[in-house]
Each structure stands twice: as C-alpha cells, then as structure tokens.
Amino acid sequence: MDQYDSLVERLSRSLAKTASRRSVLRRLGTIFVGAATLPLLPVARGQAGVKEQGDATTCEYWRYCAIDGFLCACCGGSVTSCPPGTEPAPITWVGTCRNATDGKEYIISYNDCCGKSSCGRCLCNRNEGDRPLYRPNLANDYNWCVGSKSNIPYHCTVSRIVGVADKK
Amino acid sequence: MRVLVLVVVLCSSAAAQADDARLARQNYQLQCMGCHGETGAGLEGQVPSLRGTLARISGAPQGRDYVLRVPGVTQSTLSAAEVAAVLNWALYEFSGTNAAKRIQPFTAAEVAQSRSRPLVEVSPVRAQVLRETE
C-alpha cells in the first residue's frame, strides 16, 4: 500500500506541476462523460460502415433472407431506394439477417415500393423467419402498400439496415 | 481509493444502463417499428404517433391504463419485463427527458396484469384519453 501511495503521490505532484486544476477537471470530465455516453450512440444507422459482399440483384444476397417480393435493385431502383415513380410504404415489416462478411445479425426493414404495377423482375421468396398472418409484424405476405399514400399498387421491395441485433 | 471505487461503480452502472437501452431499442425496432416507424411518428389516421403523446398520456391514470392495454402491449411476444423496458425507453426517446422524468416508470407487474384486459375498441378510448389530457 505504501508503494501505491508513493506512486500516486509522485503522479499527482508531476500532474500538478504540468497542468492547471481546471485543465485536469476538463480532461477528466471529457473522459468520464465520453465513456458513459459512447455506448448510447446510435449503432449502424442506415448503411454506413457495413462491410458486405454479394450481388444485390440476386435472391441469395444476405439482406434478402426474409424477403417476399420483387427486388427493387432489378426494377430501376436499388437495394435501399425505390424506383422512380414509386414511393416507400411507411409501414414495413422487420426481421434480422446474418451478414456473413462480418458475422453480425442486422435488423432489416423491408419497405414495399408502391404506386406502379408489379415490377415482375427478380421475384424472391426466401421467407426465413416469416410467420403466419396472425403475427402481422413478422409476416411477409402482406401487401404493405395499403399504408402508403399511393395505396395498393405494389411494385417492388427494398431492404434497409436499421440496426444491429447484438442484444439477447 | 474510495473515489476510484466510486468511479468504477458509476461507470459500470452507466454501461449497464446503456446495455438495457440498446436492448429496449432493439426490441422496439423488431417488434414496434414496422408500424410506429423509426421516429415513433406513426402514420396519420392509421398508426398512432408516440412522439410527445406517450408521456402526455402516461402521466394520467386513465392514459396509463390505456397505454398498458393497447394491442401492441397486450399481444406482444416479448416478456412483461421486456415490454416495460421498451415503454420506458420509448418515453425518453419520443417524449424527451424532461417529460419522461415526470412519469413513473412502467413495471413488469403492470404489463403482466394488463394482458388479461386488452382493449377491444382502441381508437375511441385513445381519442377520449387525448381529450382528457389536453
């Protein structure tokens, strides 16, 4: 304990010689507040920073693990954006897919794009995690365009990453 | 030494709270976000907004009873404790810290009890609660 005390004393004296009290308080404050708030920062919002592989115009692409519909990436849009002339349905269904590149489970929002008749290209129906219609938030057989302004006409589906499912 | 112990305890507590918040957010994203949306804004005329209104409603006894009996709560596949955690997280996320602080946190016991009393007619009850909490 004596050694510990003398070590702390030496460090304190050395710190007192080189830094003002306010400076120390400021730095300590930054460290503690930073350490406490870092885990609260949003995780993997959107697509930024996600390492991935695969062709987004094929059903095997990892984000499509629970999809049931036409891929917007084959219909003039992309994996995350609706084709011109359509709009994303505000009501979606949400599932998780494993990204083999980084081994993480991601939360995927499947947004139907609405306003034009069915695209007809790249129909995928993988259904992993799909549940019966009486579990609507986990069922992919619904036409979610019923919630959009342009209503029923379903065109295709996009797959947006909205988070990481790393908590059990 | 006591200060060091206090700092370690505070940091551990903050990390545990952050973990709980992340789990609640994840459960919201997986179970609620499809309809209520990422921002809790809902869909006008079809899905109720949680923004601002959740704390306002939860502050009144009849509003708190309503929140605990909506379909998303009574029919959830999450445990009662997980539902309570999502509600408490949503209070802060969608109503702000000042409003959320004034609300008694939801408990697992309340959620478990409400599951035997689901609302049949949701919209009229919501409209009435909103009028009464204006």
Please report residues of B whose CB lies closer than 8 A to that of A109. 33-34, 38
Task: Place A21 in a pLDDT band, splitting at 50, 70 and 90.
Answer: low
Is any Cβ of chain A less than 8 angstroms from the Cβ of B37?
Answer: yes
**pLDDT on residue A119:** 96
Question: A62 an active-site residue?
Answer: no
**pLDDT on residue A49:** 83
Instruction: Answer whether A32 sits within 8 Å of B29, measured CB to CB.
Output: no
Query: What are the tokens at B50?
Result: 């949680």
Please report residues of A whose CB lies closer than 8 A to that of B15. 36, 39
**pLDDT on residue B72:** 92
By Cβ distance, the residue of B11, B22, B35 closest to A167 is: B22
Question: A55 an active-site residue?
Answer: no
**ipTM score for this prediction:** 0.76
Q: How far apart are CA A22 and CA B119, in angstroms?
A: 57
**pLDDT on residue A10:** 77
Query: What are the tokens at A24?
Result: 């120390």
Give the residues of chain B that fall short of pLDDT 50. none
Task: Encode burial over A74-100: b for 16+ CB neighbours within 10 A, e otherwise.
Answer: bbbbebbbbbeebbbbbbbbbbbbebe
**pLDDT on residue A30:** 59
pLDDT digits (tens, 9 = 90+) for B19-45: 889 999 999 999 999 989 999 999 888
Angle between helices B2-31 and B80-95 (to 10 degrees): 100
pLDDT digits (tens, 9 = 90+) for A26-70: 665 555 555 554 444 433 334 668 999 999 999 999 999 989 999
Q: What superfamily would CATH give domain A62-164?
A: Methylamine/Aralkylamine dehydrogenase light chain (2.60.30.10)
Domain ranges (residues) in chain A = 2-40, 62-164
C-alpha distances out from residue A165 to B5, B80, B101, Å: 32, 20, 28
CATH among 1.10.760.10, 3.40.190.10, 3.30.1360.120, 3.60.15.10 for B2-132? 1.10.760.10
**pLDDT on residue A93:** 84
